[in-house]
Amino acid sequence: MSLNDRRLRVTQLKLHADIASTETKVEAAELLDADLLNIISDIAGKSARIEKLKVDIAATKHDDRIGDLNIKARAMEDQRDNLTLEIRTLSLQSDARAKLTLHQRDLASKEREMKNM
C-alpha cells in the first residue's frame, strides 16, 4: 500500500466516523423533538386542567358561601339570644302569675273565714 492509499484510507475512516457521529446526533435530535412534543402536549393538558379547576372553583364560590353561612350563623345566634331573653321574661311573668294566684286564693280563703265568723 502506498502512502496515498493509506492517507485515503485514514480519510475514509475519519469520514465514516464523522458520518456515524453525525447520524447519532441526528437520531438524538429526533428523540429530543419527540420528547419536546410530548412535553408540550403534557403542558397543554395540564394547562387545560388548571383552567377547568379555576372555573370550577369560581363556580362553587366557596368563599362567598362561607361568608353567607357566617352571616346566617350570626343571625341565628342573635335570634337564640332574643329567644332566651323572651323565655326568661315569660318565666318571670309565670312566676308572678303563680304568686298572684296564690295570693288571690289566700285572700278568698280569708274572706270566707271572715264571713263565717
Residue with cell 302569675: 97
Please give the DSSP secondary-structure letter assigned to residue 117.
Answer: -
Tell me: do 22 and 76 sit in the same domain.
Answer: no
- pLDDT at position 1 over 80: no
Tell me: do 31 and 50 sit in the same domain.
Answer: yes
Tell me: do 39 and 66 sit in the same domain.
Answer: no
Tell me: do 50 and 100 sit in the same domain.
Answer: no
pLDDT at 4: 83
Tell me: do 69 and 33 sit in the same domain.
Answer: no
Tell me: do 68 and 19 sit in the same domain.
Answer: no
Q: Where are the alpha helices (DSSP H) in the chain?
A: 3-60, 62-116
Please give the DSSP secondary-structure letter assigned to residue 7.
Answer: H
For the stretch 87-110, pLDDT in tens is 999 999 999 999 999 999 999 999
For the stretch 27-79, pLDDT in tens is 888 888 889 999 999 999 999 999 999 988 887 887 888 889 999 999 999 99
pLDDT at 62: 79
Tell me: do 56 and 66 sit in the same domain.
Answer: no
Other CB atoms closer than 10 Å to residue 87's CB: what's the count? 10
Residues spanned by the domain of 11:
1-60
Identify the CA nearest to 93 among candidates 24, 29, 85. Answer: 85
Tell me: do 44 and 90 sit in the same domain.
Answer: no
Give the CB-side neighbour count of residue 47, counting CA atoms within 13 A. 6
